[in-house]
Amino acid sequence: MEQQIKELERQAQKLETTAQDRKSLINQAADYGENFLSSLSEQPAYVDSESMGKGVYELPFDEKPTDFDQLLNVLKSEVDKPGLNPASGKHTGYIPGGGLYPSAIADYLAAVTNRYTGVFFSSPGAVRIENMCIRWMNDLIGYPDGASGNLTSGGSIANLIGLVVARDDSGIKAEDFNRAVIYTTRQVHHCVVKAVKFAGLREATLRTIPMDDHYRMKTDALEEQIKSDKDEGLIPLTIFASAGTTDLGAVDPLDKIGDIADRHNLWFHVDAAYGGFFLLTDHGKKVMKGIEKSDSATIDPHKGLFLPYGSGALLVKDGEKLYDSQHMSANYLQDTYKATEEASPADLSPELSKHFRGLRMWLPLQLFGVQPFRAALDEKLLLTRYFYDEIQQIEGIEVGPEPELSIAFFRYVPETGDANAFNKKLVDEIHSDGRVFLSSTHLNGMVYLRLAVLNFRTHLEDVDLILSVLKKKIQELGAL
């Protein structure tokens, strides 16, 4: 048996790398990253390819190893080429993020050391780093001491946990779920609708409250609806407001909604996945006034803090409520319960083993300081205003309301013919050109294009390029 073990050990040893292997891997990876970043300004924002990355299947997993060189080539041609390029500053579709380089280094370090950040006992320092990130975001929202939270993979999971905490805090029983009511608007992110299902509240009523002409929740209508629901014996459960809707960038009147939630004793959640980090700016603070009245909030560092994908956060004003909803003990974890100075992420979320997500947020904030983030966010707000003013110089352009944050929407109305067909064609043309990327949406039966500025690499020259591409494409399509 010992001989057999030794033989297996010899084969398994290949999983460990030598110092020389590591040097060569990291150098090749660093070169790859460097080539990617140094050519980024020339790379298209979108590549509409025929093969759609099918080449990855040409290298199936095998018993035998494959060279890193060959794999990097596959990454280059099949992964980092086709489709959308979210690292590009010319990506202004959906909600951009970016991918700060120090976060990549943090991910590397987190993976090499593989600290276990589920429980405080196992990696106290790492958990402190995560809790520091959460405290910093709680301060940003304006939550008091005693607030808590969890670093999630993104805003969708944060919203889901938020809804579950609201459900649990209300104390309602499953037999009453069909009488529960959740208040939101039609512009709420669709992950909230999914969360309602995951939270077992499929039979609950999702009320979409009417919006004003800026696509913000009408608070009078909200309060009336809550009252009439109560009169009918329904159970108002939670208000899900948005601080920056994904589609249009609208911020619901949080201050007033907070008062209504208070008057009627409802859980008030703010989905600030997109807009939350604008709280670092004076403008954002004004627009999101009252956000501190909420009971919980979602905020996405992989959006407004420009981190690579994989970073969202749920923040909860009364940390006990998050803990009560999410914690569970297990016999085999009994040794870990003696370390209680700091909250353990596993007690505040459905996750146990997880990536050390805090490091990718902590490192850039430490290395750069907060100031450049604030400046970048102010820059994005101004770039959007600039675009909004400039696009109106093109004859035939019709714009949506003045942007509250960093999303502007508009459409071209041709003198003759179907405007929707024109704008669909316009967005297709922009995608097949690929130099810049914008996405489209529809609103009240009309197709709109939208510009969302949130990549930290988007600057004035990119917005000017977007304007000139738009002008050119409109001319070309109009001339047909």
Ligand X SMILES: *Cc1c(COP(=O)(O)O)cnc(C)c1O
State the residues that interact with ligand X by CB under 6 A.
95, 154-156, 159, 189, 191, 242, 246, 271, 273-274, 300, 312
Give the residue with the Cβ less far from ligand X, 159 or 423. 159
Tell me the closest approach of the beta carbon of residue 187 to ligand X, in angstroms. Answer: 9
| E strand spans, 186-333 | 205-208, 235-242, 267-272, 296-299, 312-316
Tell me the closest approach of the beta carbon of residue 364 to ligand X, in angstroms. Answer: 18
Give the residue with the Cβ less far from ligand X, 8 or 193. 193
Contact in structure between 260 and 288 (CB atoms under 8 Å): no
Cα atoms found within 13 Å of the Cα of residue 404, Cβ hemisphere only = 26
Contact in structure between 204 and 172 (CB atoms under 8 Å): no
Measure the CA–CA gap between 209 and 291, rounded to whole angstroms.
Answer: 19
Give the residue with the Cβ less far from ligand X, 156 or 294. 156
Tell me the closest approach of the beta carbon of residue 418 to ligand X, in angstroms. Answer: 30
Closest CA to 252 of 191, 180, 189, 346: 189
Give the residue with the Cβ less far from ligand X, 159 or 458. 159
Contact in structure between 104 and 354 (CB atoms under 8 Å): no
Q: How far apart are the first and last CA of the chain?
A: 79
Give the residue with the Cβ less far from ligand X, 191 or 474. 191
Cβ density class 351-383: b for 16+ within 10 Å, e for less: beebbbbbbbbbbbbeeeeeeebbebbbbbbeb
Tell me the closest approach of the beta carbon of residue 240 to ligand X, in angstroms. Answer: 10
Measure the CA–CA gap between 356 and 129, rounded to whole angstroms.
Answer: 9
Tell me the closest approach of the beta carbon of residue 278 to ligand X, in angstroms. Answer: 12
Tell me the closest approach of the beta carbon of residue 154 to ligand X, in angstroms. Answer: 3
Give the residue with the Cβ less far from ligand X, 82 or 154. 154
Give the residue with the Cβ less far from ligand X, 87 or 234. 87
Tell me the closest approach of the beta carbon of residue 4 to ligand X, in angstroms. Answer: 48
Amino acid, res. 324: D
Q: Positive or negative CA dihedral for 190, 194, 199, 204?
A: positive
Measure the CA–CA gap between 307 and 352, rounded to whole angstroms.
Answer: 23
Q: Which helix (H) or strand (E) holds 154?
A: none
Give the residue with the Cβ less far from ligand X, 95 or 451. 95
SS3 content of the chain, % helix, strand, coil (to 5): 50, 15, 35
Give the residue with the Cβ less far from ligand X, 98 or 154. 154
Three-state SS at 275: coil
Cβ density class 199-227: b for 16+ within 10 Å, e for less: bebeebbbbebebeebbbbbbebbbebbe
Tell me the closest approach of the beta carbon of residue 245 to ligand X, in angstroms. Answer: 6
Tell me the closest approach of the beta carbon of residue 300 to ligand X, in angstroms. Answer: 5
